[in-house]
Amino acid sequence: MSPEAVISLIQQALETLVLVSAPPLLTALVVGLLVSVFQAATQINEMTLSFIPKLLAVFVALVLAGSWMLSTMVDFTQRLYGAIPQLAS
């Protein structure tokens, strides 16, 4: 297995990782920002106020984007298993 093949495989894995983790992370980021602006405007400093909306929003994002995330991971895994004979030689 050549170093170029390893680097290419790692690059594909990292790209898939970023794509799959983006929907819940970006959702948590946006909801956290909105909640912090709300807390700053109203001067309410309750910790659960920032946690519960983010938890619910990430759950909704996972429900909405879950099938796409799963199909992306399955596609990468199938491509990886399909490339084993070429990578082993």
Residue 57 covered by a domain: yes
Query: Are 54 and 31 in contact, with CB atoms under 8 Å apart?
Result: yes
The 8-class DSSP code of residue 2 comes to -
Residue 2 covered by a domain: no
Residue 14 covered by a domain: no
pLDDT at 1 over 80: no
Report the C-alpha gap between 10 and 66 in whole angstroms. 23
Q: How many helices (H) and strands (E) does the chain have?
A: 3, 0
The alpha carbon of residue 60 and the mean position of all alpha carbons in its chain are separated, in whole angstroms, by: 14
- Distance between start and end Cα atoms, the chain: 7
pTM over 0.95? The answer is: no
- More confidently predicted of 3 and 19: 19
Domain that holds residue 60: 22-88
When divided into structural domains, the chain yields a total of: 1
Instruction: State the DSSP H helix or E strand holding residue 79, giving kind and residue range, or none if neither.
Output: helix 47-82
Digit-coded pLDDT (tens) for 19-70: 999 999 999 999 999 999 999 899 888 878 889 999 999 999 999 999 999 9
